Amino acid sequence: MVSGLGERIRDCRKQRGYSQDKLGISVSVTASAVSAYELGERTPSIEILAKIAKTLGTTIDYLACGESNTTAHVSLEGLKPSDADAIRVLVNSLKNKKGEDF
């Protein structure tokens, strides 16, 4: 389980006024699955995590890592989850090269 993932899902869900049942219905899982994610008993698939992030108006990066990008936002909506993840890896790699000569 990704450290803090369940807490961030729970916090975002509550901030948006979703019950576990309502979030589950929105992302096609049961309320007990949502509960298990929040308690750290289960880890959602990348597809379900993407649906949770979209439903709650946040990003996979925030839910999984607690990272928030406040300077820019690029919508990866419509991409396959694996393609969106590849873009995130590339962006993070470029961020880490700040100030280096290419």
| Residue 82 domain flag | yes
In a domain, 101, yes or no: no
Question: What's the rounded mean pLDDT across residues 38-60?
Answer: 94
102 within a domain of the structure (yes/no)? no
Q: Residue 68: its pLDDT value, please?
A: 66
Total domains in the fold of the chain? 1
- Answer whether 38's CB lies under 8 Å from 9's CB: yes
Q: According to the model, what pLDDT value does residue 83 have?
A: 87
pLDDT digits (tens, 9 = 90+) for 81-96: 888 888 888 877 877 7
Say if residues 27 and 51 touch (Cβ distance below 8 Å): yes
Report residue 74's pLDDT band, with 50, 70 and 90 as the boundaries: low
Q: What CATH number should be reported for the domain holding residue 78?
A: 1.10.260.40
Residues 6+ apart with CB under 8 A from 90: none
Which band of pLDDT confidence, cut at 50, 70 and 90, is reported for residue 102?
very low
**Parent domain of 90:** 5-96
